[in-house]
C-alpha cells in the first residue's frame, strides 16, 4: 500500500450533496443511473453517472445524501458528461453501496 501525506489527502475535494434527480442512463454499456446532486450554493448542482442499479432505484435515491469527489475534471460517459465521482464501497459481490452520512448534514460539507 502506498502511503500519502496529509497534503495529498487535502487535494481530493469530497463533498456531501442531496440527490435531486435520478434516472436510468441511456446508452451506457453497463447499467447505470444519471444523478443530479445538489452540493449547496458554493458548488451548485452537478451531474454524475453511477453504476449503482443493483441496490438502488431512481425513486429511492431522490432526497438521499451521498458523497462525491467534486474536483475531478468532467468525464464523458457515452452521451452524458459526468461532473463528479459519486463514492461507494463494493459489497461481497462487487456491487456498489453508496457512502452517505449517518445523520443529515448541510449540502456542500467537505469530508475531513
Count of domains observed in the chain: 1
> What is the span of the domain harbouring residue 11?
6-98
Evaluate if residue 38 carries a pLDDT over 90: yes
Residue 13 confidence class, pLDDT cut points 50, 70, 90: very high
Asked if residue 16 belongs to a domain, the reply is yes
Q: What is the pLDDT of residue 78?
A: 83
Could you tell me the pTM of the whole model? 0.94
Asked if residue 21 belongs to a domain, the reply is yes
| Cell 442512463 found at | 25
CATH of the domain at 75: 2.40.50.140
Q: What is the pLDDT of residue 30?
A: 87
φ, ψ at 18 (rounded to 5°): -105, 130
CB 84 within 8 A of CB 47: yes
Write out pLDDT tens, residues 44-97: 999 999 999 999 999 999 999 999 999 999 999 888 999 999 999 999 999 999
Q: What is the pLDDT of residue 25?
A: 93
CB 90 within 8 A of CB 35: no
Asked if residue 67 belongs to a domain, the reply is yes
Amino acid at each position: 500500500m502506498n502511503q500519502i501525506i496529509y497534503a495529498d489527502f487535502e487535494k481530493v475535494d469530497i463533498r456531501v450533496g442531496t440527490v435531486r434527480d435520478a434516472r436510468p442512463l441511456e446508452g451506457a454499456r453497463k447499467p447505470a443511473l444519471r444523478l443530479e446532486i445538489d452540493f449547496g450554493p458554493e458548488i451548485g448542482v452537478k451531474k454524475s453517472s453511477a453504476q449503482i442499479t443493483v441496490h438502488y432505484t431512481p425513486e429511492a435515491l431522490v432526497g438521499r445524501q451521498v458523497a462525491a469527489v467534486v474536483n475531478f475534471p468532467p468525464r464523458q460517459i457515452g452521451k452524458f458528461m459526468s461532473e463528479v465521482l459519486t463514492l461507494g464501497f463494493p459489497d461481497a459481490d462487487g456491487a456498489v453501496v453508496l457512502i452517505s452520512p449517518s445523520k443529515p448534514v448541510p449540502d456542500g460539507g467537505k469530508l475531513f
